[in-house]
Amino acid sequence: MIIVIDSVLSQLAPQAIGARWARLSRQLVTSIATREGATAVILDRGGTPPHDGAVTYPFPSYRFIEAAADSGLLQKFCDFVQADVFVSSGLTTPLLVPTVQLVLAAIDPAAADQASPRLEVERRLACAYSSATLCDSAATMKALARGRDLDGFARPEVVNIAWDSPSESETIERFCDAAVARIRQAREQAMQPNDRTFREKWRQLREMLAAVDVT
């Protein structure tokens, strides 16, 4: 199994949140290898630290005004590496590959390279059309609650991470174990007719949006 991990949070998030993502994604790579015997592929959009045991590819920076086109580019990359599942941090998805979102604290739009009022919309869309969404706290899940009006939205789950505490490593490992379970589930469901229909609907939406400038 090949799992693509988009490290977009390393590009967009404030330094403290980016550092948390780095610790989480490193453990995720380890959990993917030890629990699934799978290969992790990291997309480096800028600022991504080294990940032992993963293959890293440079990838274009994320721009909110080109979010729909970004989905198409991600799909082409996933086709290139023959990805089974895509993992992101609550913002990006390819067109057809089943996706699991791992959502940390909210991104501060002012810290992003291309701050945009579409941040909230893109996050809601990404979670709405993903196979599963895991949040690091109840507060993070609450911030996503407004997206539940979207058709197909999978209710987020909470696996608490005790950031910057003595139990941080233990709780990150628990979070990543849960993520690997959702990754496995997403892959198993991918061949079911209703799942294919679900993702085809997303593809049509993104291709429609990519045909125009969305600001």
Asked if residue 215 is part of any domain, the answer here is no
State the pLDDT at residue 172.
98
Contact 154, 131 (CB under 8 A): yes
Per-residue pLDDT tens digits for 9-67 = 999 887 888 899 999 999 999 999 998 889 999 999 998 999 999 999 999 999 988 89
Our count of domains for the chain comes to: 1
Read off the CATH number of the domain in which 22 is found.
3.40.50.2000
Asked if residue 101 is part of any domain, the answer here is yes
Q: Which DSSP helix (H) or strand (E) runs through 210?
A: helix 193-210
Asked if residue 191 is part of any domain, the answer here is yes
Query: Above 90 in pLDDT, residue 107?
Result: no
Contact 41, 5 (CB under 8 A): yes
End-to-end CA distance of the chain: 36
Instruction: Show the domain range for 112.
Output: 2-210
Look at the pTM and tell me if it is higher than 0.85. yes
Asked if residue 131 is part of any domain, the answer here is yes
Distance, CA of 176 to CA of 188 (rounded, Å): 18
Average pLDDT of the chain is 88
Close Cβ partners of 150 (under 8 Å, ≥ 6 residues apart): 124, 125, 128
Asked if residue 57 is part of any domain, the answer here is yes
State the pLDDT at residue 153.
52
Asked if residue 152 is part of any domain, the answer here is yes
Distance, CA of 138 to CA of 167 (rounded, Å): 18
